[in-house]
């Protein structure tokens, strides 16, 4: 079976001229890379994405119709958007931001507000991951204003739920819960008008992912505002873990990490060990630095119970995972 790099290089003739077939080919390749990223982590596909980006960028100098050029710019912007996400996932935030900035340029030039808002969401996630809450909030708020202008409730729901995450990380439970309610309402509006035209950059956000966000926000609140929040987080995270399809392996691993953390916080260390073991097994199959970063709070929580043998065993297993090279 050919590698993706070989397939792209061998099939590069489809990208030697800029027409509608070129746009379709670029969109198809991006779909394939996005699926690999979800299933295996950003390290599974970034090199191949880089190959395609080098070819595709040269086509911006081509002569073609205005409509085709706009479609191509959107497709290329989405590929940069994905490239940024894979760089973020593999622990290179500065490189990620460069791709996101390029995606913003291209999407804005083509007039695609929904994609611009999605890139703002992803930039915000980079800041949130590094606990830069003010910068994350600004990106989410800016993306929200653009999504409202575009009139796309699904993107609005993505941004509202992530704004809730920022407030939960900061310990503002009232604002976090209010924004989650807003995200649910926006998601319901999107579901009422659902069709087959959901853009690929937003397709990940389904009912399962919204449930995962609810569990995530209440996990943050369990840490910052009180362990009673685990009563809300745990059932939501269990539902999300069961609901993610096989292709969303990274998302499931993140949910399992949060679920194990809640079990430590609520004192069910046996369950924390069982779920934590599943989380480690899942994360170990990914080329994702984020998975390793996400599991560190679970390690910190387990280490707060140094006299509990089960917590010590979980800590040792996590530490072993963190010192093992990525898959």
Task: Output the CA torsion 247→81→55→95 (10° steps).
Answer: -110
The whole-angstrom separation of Cα 217 and Cα 219 is: 5
- Close Cβ partners of 64 (under 8 Å, ≥ 6 residues apart): 18, 19, 72
Ramachandran region of residue 170, left (φ > 0), alpha (ψ -120 to 50) or beta?
A: alpha
Domain extents in the chain: 1-111, 206-327
Q: What is the pLDDT, as a whole number, of residue 196?
A: 63
Residue 272 to residue 274: CA distance in whole angstroms: 6
Say how many C-beta atoms besides its own lie within 10 A of residue 280's C-beta: 23
Domain 1-111: assigned CATH number: 1.25.40
Distance set, CA 325 to CA 36, 38, 283, 284 (Å): 20, 20, 12, 9
What's phi and psi for 264, nearest 5 deg? Answer: -65, -45
Task: Give pLDDT tens digits along the chain (327 positions).
Answer: 334 444 444 444 444 579 999 999 999 999 999 999 999 999 999 999 999 999 999 999 999 999 999 999 999 999 999 999 999 999 999 999 999 999 999 999 999 999 999 999 999 999 999 999 999 999 999 999 999 999 999 999 999 999 999 999 999 999 999 999 999 999 999 998 776 679 999 999 999 999 999 999 999 999 999 999 999 999 999 999 999 999 999 999 999 999 999 999 999 999 999 999 999 999 999 999 999 999 999 999 999 999 999 999 999 999 999 999 886
C-alpha R_g of the chain: 20
Count CB-CB contacts under 10 A for residue 251: 20
Global pTM reads 0.93
> Residues 49, 288, 3, 248: what is their CA dihedral angle, to the nearest 10 degrees?
-90
> What Å distances lie between residue 24 and 28, 29, 31, 110, 226, CA to CA?
6, 9, 11, 16, 50
179 near 153, Cβ under 8 Å? no
Provide the 3-class DSSP secondary structure of residue 146: helix
Residue 178's Cβ-side half-sphere holds a number of Cα atoms within 13 Å equal to: 5
Separation between Cα atoms, residue 126 and residue 120, nearest integer Å: 10
pLDDT at 100: 98
pLDDT for 302: 96
């Amino acid at each position: 079976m050919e590698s993706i790099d070989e397939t792209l290089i061998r099939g590069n003739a489809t990208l030697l001229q800029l027409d509608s077939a070129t746009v379709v080919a670029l969109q198809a390749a991006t779909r394939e890379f996005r699926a690999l990223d979800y299933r295996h982590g950003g390290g599974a596909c970034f090199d191949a994405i880089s190959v395609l980006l080098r070819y595709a960028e040269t086509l911006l100098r081509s002569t073609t119709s205005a409509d085709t050029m706009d479609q191509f710019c959107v497709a290329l912007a989405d590929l940069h958007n994905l490239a940024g996400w894979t760089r973020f996932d593999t622990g290179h935030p500065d490189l990620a931001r460069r791709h996101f900035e390029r995606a913003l340029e291209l999407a804005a030039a083509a007039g695609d507000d929904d994609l611009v808002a999605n890139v703002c969401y992803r930039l915000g996630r980079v800041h949130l991951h590094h606990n830069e809450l003010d910068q994350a909030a600004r990106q989410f708020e800016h993306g929200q204003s653009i999504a409202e202008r575009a009139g796309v409730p699904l993107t609005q729901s993505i941004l509202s739920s992530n704004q809730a995450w920022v407030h939960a990380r900061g310990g503002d439970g009232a604002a976090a819960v209010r924004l989650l309610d807003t995200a649910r309402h926006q998601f319901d509006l999107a579901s009422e008008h659902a069709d087959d035209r959901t853009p690929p950059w937003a397709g990940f956000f389904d009912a399962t992912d919204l449930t995962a966000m609810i569990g995530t926000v209440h996990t943050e609140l369990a840490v910052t505002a009180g362990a009673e929040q685990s009563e809300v987080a745990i059932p939501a995270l269990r539902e999300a873990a069961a609901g993610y399809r096989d292709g969303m392996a990274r998302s499931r691993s993140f949910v399992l990490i949060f679920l194990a953390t809640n079990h430590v916080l609520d004192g069910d260390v046996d369950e924390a060990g069982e779920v934590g073991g599943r989380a480690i097994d899942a994360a170990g199959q990914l080329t994702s630095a984020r998975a390793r970063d996400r599991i560190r709070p679970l390690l910190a929580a387990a280490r707060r119970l140094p006299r509990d043998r089960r917590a010590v065993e979980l800590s040792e297993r996590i530490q072993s995972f963190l010192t093992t090279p990525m898959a």
